[in-house]
């Protein structure tokens, strides 16, 4: 269900490169959650870095919502850049597998395949 790759890039460089890859593929970055900073600001001892990029392609999102409005709870897609024991990683939960748990609609399965192809390309290009 997860698609995670390791990169030799720094956390900061991978984060910047992911932002650029998202935009190259016609998606937008709606928000970036800096989870590591947020946890530390709340007094939690957290040594790793983690940024969660909320990404969206408006056309694809509209197709999903037109078919089943309940799926708004599965949007937008999230791609994370994080560190784990000194290694920088980039990953996502694959849309095809996630959506198959929520809907059996063949049209939505096609949208999920298209989105998964693009988001995996973003991750691979960021690597």
For 64-89, what is each residue's pLDDT tens digit?
999 999 999 999 999 999 999 999 99
Q: How far is CA 34 from CA 39, 49, 53, in A?
A: 9, 8, 9
- Number of domains within the chain: 1
Q: Residue 109 has what pLDDT?
A: 92
The model's pTM is 0.94
Give the residue numbers spanning the domain of 20: 2-126
Strand extents, DSSP E, 1-127: 2-7, 28-34, 50-56, 77-84, 87-93
CATH of the domain at 87: 3.30.310.70
Per-residue confidence band for 39, with pLDDT thresholds at 50, 70 and 90? very high
Cβ atoms of 36 and 59 closer than 8 Å: no
pLDDT of residue 5: 98
């Amino acid at each position: 269900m997860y698609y995670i790759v390791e990169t030799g890039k720094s956390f900061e460089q991978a984060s910047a490169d992911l932002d650029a890859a998202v935009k190259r593929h016609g998606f937008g970055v709606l928000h970036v959650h800096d989870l590591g900073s947020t946890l530390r600001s709340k007094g939690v001892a957290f040594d790793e870095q983690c940024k969660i990029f909320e990404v969206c392609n408006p056309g694809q999102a509209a197709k999903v919502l037109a078919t089943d409005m309940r799926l708004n709870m599965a949007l937008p897609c999230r791609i994370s850049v994080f560190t784990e024991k000194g290694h920088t990683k980039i990953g996502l939960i694959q849309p095809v597998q996630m959506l198959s748990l929520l809907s059996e609609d063949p049209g939505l399965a096609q949208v999920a395949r298209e989105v998964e192809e693009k988001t995996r390309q973003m991750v691979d290009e960021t690597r």
